[in-house]
Amino acid sequence: MSEDEERLIERLRSIERLFDGATTPGERTAAAEAMERVRQRLAEMKDSDPATEYKFTLGDGWSRSLFVALLRRYGLKPYRYSGQRRTTVMARVPRRFVDETLWPEFEKLSATLRAFLDDITERVIRESVFADDSEPEEVAAGSRALPP
Q: What is the pTM of this model?
A: 0.69
Q: Judge whether 98 lies within some domain.
A: yes
Residue 145 lies in a domain: no
Q: Per the domain annotation, does 44 fall within a domain? A: yes
Residue 62 within any structural domain of the chain: yes
Query: What confidence tier does 20 reach under pLDDT thresholds 50, 70, 90?
Result: low
Asked if residue 86 belongs to a domain, the reply is yes
The residue with greater pLDDT, 7 or 72, is 72
Rounded Cα distance between 74 and 85, Å, is 23
Give the number of domains in the chain: 1
- The region of weakest confidence among 22-31, 40-49, 96-105, 133-142 is 22-31
User: By residue range, what is the domain housing residue 58?
Assistant: 3-126
The answer as to whether 142 is a domain residue is: no
